[in-house]
Amino acid sequence: MNYQHEFHAGNFADVFKHVVFCRILHYLREKPAAFRVIDTHAGAGLYDLTNEKAMRGGEWHSGIGKLMDAPIPQSVATLLSPYLDVVRAVNERDRLRVYPGSPALARAWLRPQDRLIACELEPKVAAALSRNLHGDNRIKTLLVDGWTALKAYVPPKERRGLVLVDPPFEAEDDFSRLASGLAAAHRKWATGVYALWYPIKGRREVDALAKRLRRLALAKALRAELLVSPLGDPTRLNGAGIVVVNPPWMLENELSVLLPALAGLLGRDGKGTFRLDSLGGESPSHSV
């Protein structure tokens, strides 16, 4: 695998994914019972935005850089605060030098009773992940294939929690594995919250994924997509999507506020678009 997230850390797709991720963590913390986060493709955890790769990619400027500098209405700022507060906490005086990936974001939301399993397959990245999260006994970092972890570590003993699945989508079958991996995990742990992230370059693979997920007949699966540019060029990353299975009951309403705001802020030339709909049944949202 040659995917290197240093080039892309903090881009619009990270921002979108992590905003949703932190909203879910916010709701998990509202109940006193312990929860567990399972991050199947965790990456390094923290990314230096001043290093050569991040500077050469420069994608964070049109992602977290743009969001941090933008005037944001208070209603939107309140919903963004669980995410932006962590970003600011790992930086000094609002100077963006470090971007927290999903394991670092999750760590900020763990209470003493909560746990995180962060999985990474690439050895050098896994070593960086272990260094970045070292010394916290609530966290276990594992050198393991995320697809294996998706099946092996559910259900957690806490019986509450969130599984984040965001593979690099280098392999041709990653879209189909996203659906089959969810199906296998959901059979073992039907009440867990699952967040499945995917890139959008064109519609063919994305629509095929939606069709596979609908066939699973899940009680509740919320789909949110953010497009920052039209789909005319299938070689570039034009958008990103996330499907949340068993979403917190307020998440759909919150995304109806967040998505248009993010589309306006992060869309190229301010012309982003979004989609928010269901891929599941009509039963009430799962309470976490």
Examine residue 59 and state whether it is found in any structural domain, yes or no: yes
202-225 residue pLDDT tens: 999 999 999 999 999 999 999 999
Contacts of 169 (CB under 8 A, 6+ apart): 175, 198, 199
| pLDDT of amino acid 1 | 42
Q: What does residue 224 show for φ and ψ, rounded to 5 degrees?
A: -130, 135
| pLDDT of amino acid 235 | 84
Residue numbers of the domain that contains 270: 5-31+46-112+177-278
Examine residue 222 and state whether it is found in any structural domain, yes or no: yes
247-262 residue pLDDT tens: 999 999 999 999 999 9
- Overall average pLDDT of the 56-62 stretch: 86
User: With 80 as the cut, is the pLDDT of residue 197 above it?
Assistant: yes
| pLDDT of amino acid 4 | 67
Examine residue 54 and state whether it is found in any structural domain, yes or no: yes
CA distance 227 to 12: 10
- How many distinct structural domains can be found in the chain? 1
The CATH number that applies at residue 253 is 3.40.50.150
67-122 residue pLDDT tens: 998 999 999 999 999 999 999 999 987 789 999 999 999 999 999 999 999 999 99
Beta bridge partners of 200: 239
Examine residue 40 and state whether it is found in any structural domain, yes or no: no
Examine residue 287 and state whether it is found in any structural domain, yes or no: no
> pTM of the predicted model, to two decimals?
0.94
**Is 48 noted as a catalytic residue in this protein?**
no
> In angstroms, how far is CA 121 from the centroid of its own chain?
18
Work out the pLDDT band at 288, boundaries 50, 70, 90: low
Catalytic one of 14, 39, 166, 174 = 166
- Angle at which helices 12-28 and 102-109 cross, to 10°: 20
Mean pLDDT, the chain, whole residue set: 92
Examine residue 159 and state whether it is found in any structural domain, yes or no: no
